[in-house]
Amino acid sequence: MTTSVALLGTGLMGFPMARRLLAAGHELTVWNRDQSKARPLAGEGARVADSAAAAVRDATHIITMLTDGTVVDQVLFDTGVAEAITAGATVIDMSSIQPGQAREHARRLSALGISHLDAPVSGGTGGAEAGTLAIMVGGETETFDKAANLFSPMGRAIRVGPSGAGQLAKLANQAIVGIAIGAVAEATLLVSEGGGDLDAFRAALAGGFADSTILQVHGQRMQANDFAPRGRASVQLKDLNNVLLEARELGIQLPLVEAIRDRFVRLANDLDGGNLDHSALFIELLDLNGRPPAPRV
């Protein structure tokens, strides 16, 4: 069964997700603040709306894929979107925001008769293009079950708990990703400086306890000095800040997250690397060690 879907936010992630939904046969309306990022989808069958409020009218499901919780809040509640959504529809926020923000959005939408799922993703632009995203979902089981056919073209969705739990799982994911990038950067520098073959090094670790997507994919990017943005360092920094905000709310300390967050701050602010891929933390490490970065691909 097809659904009538509105997707708000057709940036690096939202654009390939929209293409997956269109390929699966869903009726899709798209909107983006910069309309030039949405218009190409018209050639693939999407309707391009002039405003976010116009996009959501008559949609059974509204997907938001926006920069952060503040932007999600503004788009939903300050642009007439919430009032334009038909009662009984479901908002699926696939942005990465704070768990508390997700719970508040769910509360406000529920008062209007609108269901809500927080469903952040992991897998980067490659996963969005291939339809292999890991989708972590918080919300009511019944609402989640009814959205199954919508999630399936984009990746593997698992409900991890009530409202806000999806965002909490994404924060945990981003903590692991950030720390792993730091570890792979240091291992890459160690092997490189010692004269080792980086391709052979990654092959040797394949299948062992230290193997990971971060090692194989991001390690290769570091070796090739290829830091074109697939997942921006600025977004990684935003997520790590949200991890620490949530940790403070829970009364716990996360020293590894705090240390890696500070290094992403240095990459983004001191080295002007916020718009690079998050694997560009390797540049920060090179700078820390007084090693000039190689020319970028």
E strand or H helix at 188: helix 165-193
CB of 181 closer than 8 Å to CB of 278: yes
Q: Where are the domains of the chain?
A: 4-161, 168-288
What CATH fold (topology level) applies to the domain 168-288?
N-(1-d-carboxylethyl)-l-norvaline Dehydrogenase; domain 2 (1.10.1040)
Q: Which of 37, 146, 170, 238 is catalytic?
A: 170
pLDDT of residue 1: 42
Assess whether 170 carries a catalytic annotation: yes
The phi, psi pair for 161, rounded to 5°, reads: 150, -165
CA atoms of 225 and 247, how far apart (whole Å): 33
pLDDT of residue 284: 98
What CATH fold (topology level) applies to the domain 4-161?
Rossmann fold (3.40.50)
pLDDT of residue 205: 98
CA atoms of 165 and 108, how far apart (whole Å): 17
pLDDT of residue 232: 93
pLDDT of residue 157: 98
Per-residue pLDDT of the chain (297 residues; tens, 9 = 90+): 457 999 999 999 999 999 999 999 999 999 999 999 999 999 999 999 999 999 999 999 999 999 999 999 999 999 999 999 999 999 999 999 999 999 999 999 999 999 999 999 998 899 999 999 999 999 999 999 999 999 999 999 999 999 999 999 999 999 999 999 999 999 999 999 999 999 999 999 999 999 999 999 999 999 999 999 988 999 999 999 999 999 999 999 999 999 999 999 999 999 999 999 999 999 999 999 999 887 877
pLDDT of residue 89: 97
pLDDT of residue 2: 54
Burial class (CB in 10 A: 0-12, 13-18, 19+), 251: exposed
Coil vs helix vs strand at 158: strand
